[in-house]
Amino acid sequence: MTGAADTPVLRVRDLRTHFTTGLGVVKSVDGVDLDVGRGETLGIVGESGSGKSVTALSIMGLVASPPGRIVSGTIELAGQDLRKLEPAALRRIRGRRMSMIFQDPLASLNPVLRIGFQLGEVFRHHLGHDRRRAVSEAERMLKAMDIPSPETRVRNYPHQMSGGMRQRAMIAMALSCQPELLIADEPTTALDVTVQAQVLNLMKEVCRERGTALLLITHDMGVVAHMCDRVAVMYAGRIVEYADVRTLFRRPAHPYTAGLLRSLPRLGGNARRLASIEGQPPRLTALPPGCPYAPRCPRVQERCRRDAPELVSLAEGHQVRCHFPLDHAAEAA
């Protein structure tokens, strides 16, 4: 393939995923573009209900259908269009070339199977290892995740491990086939702060080492600052700002991003959760005409309520979907 070196690991264009519900069509993801390169970490940040998880599930081909449906867009893994694949071909790619970890490891682990067996299953299923070799690979993975006495741990059931250890086991499982892409959806939200930091550091280290592209979903700006190279800010099913992490924190251009940053208290802890922008995210079945942030935006003007803003480029790698972005002049100068 020509130009393979600059083909991103993940390339998403104009992704739209809608749900048909009793209240109407929910446009959970409504025209999302994303690129994640080898060894890069892209954060998706936004309040609850903005479409982060549905974006991730769409990429993985795991949207429950019905009620959900990808209505348009392309999703390419290393240049290959995943939407064109048969379900069986997609299943072979999932877990092997791209994998996902969720907020609650208990929901993804089988409570009645030993950790070693579950981890080993990935090796048996995708790589065809025999049982013995699969368990020893599982042990090796747990060790790589800094889990002490992995030879004992492989015999544990999920409930015999702490939350942090379970999430490390999940990361081990997700990374076991050395996927090109890892999607982590709020992977440490359920953990306490110290354990959060350990698990995140480990994930970052392992992904960097192996060149894994990481798509990290979070509502925690502290996690963004710590982990991400670039950030996509999502609101009401759309990306409203893309920036590298420095620019995002120093010169946010979208009023919503600025609001998220203002809601970030000085100290760490659970208080870092985004809760304090005034007003509610809009109902996705009844989006107002114009900018969906208008009812909450301190910079709103008449034009905002009339015309939906397009994504425009402010500088190399910095895009915003707003008629009246902040600090525009300063950056352009």
Ligand X SMILES: Nc1ncnc2c1ncn2[C@@H]1O[C@H](COP(=O)(O)OP(=O)(O)O)[C@@H](O)[C@H]1O
Q: Is 214 in the site for ligand SF4 (CB under 6 A)?
A: no
Selection from 312, 205, 14, 222 nearest residue 214 by Cα: 205
**Of positions 293, 314, 318, 319, contacts ligand SF4 by CB under 6 A:** 293
Question: Which strand (E) or helix (H) includes residue 317?
Answer: none
C-alpha 79/C-alpha 254 separation (Å) is 31
**Considering the complex, what minimum distance in angstroms separates the CB of residue 24 from ligand X?**
11
C-alpha 179/C-alpha 232 separation (Å) is 22
**Considering the complex, what minimum distance in angstroms separates the CB of residue 290 from ligand SF4?**
7
Say which entry of ligand SF4, ligand X, Mg ion, none residue 49 contacts (CB below 5 to 8 A, set by partner kind): ligand X
Q: Is 53 in the site for Mg ion (CB under 5 A)?
A: yes
CB atoms near residue 308 (< 10 Å): 15
Contact 216, 227 (CB under 8 A): yes
Say which entry of Mg ion, ligand X, ligand SF4, none residue 291 contacts (CB below 5 to 8 A, set by partner kind): ligand SF4
Phi, then psi, of 319 in degrees rounded to 5: -125, 150
**Of positions 299, 315, 328, 331, contacts ligand SF4 by CB under 6 A:** 299
C-alpha 205/C-alpha 215 separation (Å) is 14
Say which entry of ligand SF4, Mg ion, ligand X, none residue 175 contacts (CB below 5 to 8 A, set by partner kind): none
C-alpha 212/C-alpha 34 separation (Å) is 16
**Considering the complex, what minimum distance in angstroms separates the CB of residue 299 from ligand SF4?**
4
Q: Is 312 in the site for ligand SF4 (CB under 6 A)?
A: no
Say which entry of Mg ion, ligand X, ligand SF4, none residue 297 contacts (CB below 5 to 8 A, set by partner kind): ligand SF4
Segment near Mg ion (CB under 5 A), from 48-56, 66-74, 88-96, 248-256?
A: 48-56
Question: Which strand (E) or helix (H) includes residue 281?
Answer: none
**Considering the complex, what minimum distance in angstroms separates the CB of residue 61 from Mg ion?**
17
C-alpha 275/C-alpha 263 separation (Å) is 7
Residues at the interface with ligand X (CB under 6 A): 19, 21, 26, 28, 46, 48-54, 64, 67-68, 284
Tell me the H-state helices in 69-162.
87-93, 105-108, 115-127, 131-144, 150-153
Interface contacts to ligand SF4, rule CB under 6 A? 255, 291, 293-294, 297, 299-300, 304, 309, 322-324
Interface contacts to Mg ion, rule CB under 5 A? 52-53
